[in-house]
Amino acid sequence: MKDTAGSQLFELMAGFWKTQAVYLATESGIVDAIAAAGRAPTIDLSIETRTDADALGRLLLFLESLGVVDGDEASGWALTEVGELLRTDTRDSMRDHVRIYGSHFYPAWGALSHSLRTGRSAFAHVYGSDLFSYLHQNPEVSLTYERAMVAGTPFFAEVSGAYDFSGARRIVDVAGGHGALLNEILNANQGPHAVLFDAPHVIEETRDRPIATDHADRCERVAGNFFESVPSDGDVYLLSRILHCFDDEACHRILTNCRRAMAPGGRLVILERVLTRGTGSSLTQGYNMHMLVVLGGGRERDETQYRTLLDKAGFTVESLHGLPLETHLMIAAPS
């Protein structure tokens, strides 16, 4: 029993080994080099990526133990199904997700003690500004962040199956980023028109995204501040992974602005992780900590907390639907 507990503790303590190994395999071009070759020996990969052959060999052995690559020194190395997700050239790549977690979020978690002492963002402590201000000041990081947010959303394709948008007249995606969710919804539903609403620098980044190029005749892109107002007269308002970024007071402002702007009979469609216990998974609990470390005021909430939050803003939860990666779709109507 002690050996089992000790091994488990070692695995927990070695978490940062795995984070940086996967991040460097992605960032240094090792994954793409393997993908281009199909299967390649260490020495060839070392030359291609300008890395030390012995060090790279050790990294590949570690990645093999993590299920990222498969092979050995004799047969060469190939990508596993997990490794394929790290490629640059695939549609479902999670490369940017790995990049933002292994670079900018990693030092923030190294300052977890700041959040624990103060209840405030360790990211802001490390980088000198809150996350969204930092992204505004660093366009390259902002693009990586937006792509990372999309990479972590395989459930987008299932949203139209969980809620019927076919009868919607005007869908407003509040803080919709680069429009990936809205693009999926418009692809699946030919009737509705839409508004993609986000901060000015984010809307500027969408000019060559599918939501702008494929749906220019059906989607208006509008810049603004959701704490001040949101576009009016929508009969469906989307909030995808927005509320968990803020404390209850800030969420109340966003929700009341949506309530005020909503057309009669409208609906609010919310995508969030919902805190539960006893599921055997730490993903949502981990994100609850991540919101503290990166955003300070952000948090994941349980179903009761969401119902209370929505009730205070004039909404009633009608239904809750489970989606992949412990995400839930909440449908709320004006009270």
Residues whose CB is less than 8 angstroms from the CB of residue 203 and which lie 6 or more positions away in sequence, other chains included: 196, 221, 222, 223
Residues whose CB is less than 8 angstroms from the CB of residue 21 and which lie 6 or more positions away in sequence, other chains included: 59, 62, 63, 66
What is the tally of helices (H) and strands (E) in the chain? 19, 9
The phi, psi pair for 220, rounded to 5°, reads -95, 135
Residue 245 gets which letter from DSSP? G
| CA Rg value for the chain | 22
Asked whether the beta carbons of 88 and 146 are under 8 A apart, the reply is no
Please say if 97 is a catalytic residue: no
The residue annotated as part of the active site, out of 97, 104, 215, 244, is 244
Residue 263 gets which letter from DSSP? P
Token output for 69: 């690559």
The phi, psi pair for 269, rounded to 5°, reads -115, 115
Q: Which residues are catalytic?
A: 244
